[in-house]
Amino acid sequence: MWQATATLSRIDRALVDSQVGPRLHSLSARQAGAAARAAAYRLDPRAIVERAALAAADRRVWVRPALDCMAYVTALLPVAQGVAVFAALTRAADSARAGGDSRSRGQVMADALVTRVTGQAQADDVPVMVNLVMTDAALLGGSDEVARVAKYGPVPSGVARLLTTTGRAWVRRLYVHPSTGELVAMEARARRFPPALAELVRLRDQQCRAPYCDAPIRHIDHVIPVRSGGRTTYRNAQGLCDRHNQVKEEPGFCASVARGDVEFATPTGHRYRSHPPPPLGLGSDLELSPVEARVRRLLHTG
Ligand SMILES: [Zn+2]
């Protein structure tokens, strides 16, 4: 109820209290909130309209992980649009249920949301990028590791397998060195990182490499700058966020590569070492490509 009256003057708030207070014993929490909002609108309609216009600029959508490999997709919308979205999904559920659909209302609404937003014919038909890190254990059988879904994060191998067999998944395999566990390097001469190499660095680093920073990667950067003889290679590359990409150009900052780690030196004389997070892999029962199958046979017979 306090939210409904937060922008009113003290006198107006007291007025709302005197109007709604005597009825509180017979109202649910939702009804009390609605009564307080209605009273506030009557007292100061202009302020409410002005705030609504400002609030509409804040409309947005975000996604965050939920338990059991589910995700919350939340939208903050102007009230008319929010109600229209919900009404459209409700109508979809009503007509599906009337046609004998065995899914629950909630399931139909969720599926309709996905198909309409993505333009796919079926909710579980959405394309998804699964990055699989193939270790030698995964290639040769017997590992039970974790895969990574773009824009979501790690998922258990069982779920990734389900995605790759039921959804329209793009499976991208990355190979790690059997003894060091590093993603396989790619060399390039160009100064600008070629897209495939930049993507590999992005997958390796997962977030900004600067110490204590977990911001998303915005730049693929040369650890040792090209002007100082740094090469455009996998080892001399690091993912940095916007802020750290600028900070590292300030006087006194210095970065170098030491045994696969990036070492940062700051103007205050501190040194930090940054090691990329461990790559995530997936189990062995993927269908192997002909080349992979041949490698596997060779390794077994050799
Ligand atoms: Zn950063």
Cα-to-centroid distance, 210 and ligand 1 (Å): 5
Give the whole-angstrom CA distance, residue 253 versus residue 32: 58
Give the whole-angstrom CA distance, residue 248 versus residue 243: 9
Cα-to-centroid distance, 45 and ligand 1 (Å): 45
Contacts 24+ apart (CB under 8 A), 199-203: 200/174, 200/234, 201/234, 201/237, 201/238, 201/239, 202/239, 203/131, 203/148, 203/174, 203/279
Give the whole-angstrom CA distance, residue 247 versus residue 153: 27
Cα-to-centroid distance, 213 and ligand 1 (Å): 5
Cα-to-centroid distance, 16 and ligand 1 (Å): 48
Cα-to-centroid distance, 245 and ligand 1 (Å): 7
The parts of the chain modelled with pLDDT lower than 70 are 1-3, 125-191, 279-289, 291-292, 295-302
Please tell me the predicted confidence (pLDDT) of residue 301. 55
Cα-to-centroid distance, 38 and ligand 1 (Å): 46
User: Each residue of 100-113: pLDDT tens digit?
Assistant: 999 999 999 999 99
Please tell me the predicted confidence (pLDDT) of residue 180. 65
Calculate what percentage of the chain has a pLDDT beyond 70.
Answer: 69
Cα-to-centroid distance, 188 and ligand 1 (Å): 25
Cα-to-centroid distance, 124 and ligand 1 (Å): 35
Please tell me the predicted confidence (pLDDT) of residue 88. 94
Cα-to-centroid distance, 241 and ligand 1 (Å): 4
Cα-to-centroid distance, 207 and ligand 1 (Å): 8
**HEC sequence for the chain:** CHHHHCCCCHHHHHHHHHHHHHHHHHCCHHHHHHHHHHHHHHHCHHHHHHHHHHHHCCCEEEEEEECCCEEEEEEECCHHHHHHHHHHHHHHHHHHHHCCCCCCHHHHHHHHHHHHHHCCCCHHHCEEEEEEEECHHHHHCCCCCEEEECCCEEEEHHHHHHHHHHCEEEEEEEEECCCCCCECCCECCCCCCCHHHHHHHHHHHCCCCCCCCCCCCCEEEECCCHHHCCCCECCCEEEECHHHHHHCCCCCCEEEEECCEEEEECCCCCEEEECCCCCCECCCCCCCCHHHHHHHHHHHHC
Please tell me the predicted confidence (pLDDT) of residue 92. 93
Cα-to-centroid distance, 231 and ligand 1 (Å): 22
Cα-to-centroid distance, 198 and ligand 1 (Å): 17
Cα-to-centroid distance, 209 and ligand 1 (Å): 7
Cα-to-centroid distance, 208 and ligand 1 (Å): 5
Cα-to-centroid distance, 131 and ligand 1 (Å): 23
Give the whole-angstrom CA distance, residue 117 versus residue 68: 23
Where do the structural domains in the chain lie, given as residue ranges? 2-56, 60-124, 126-180+280-301, 195-274
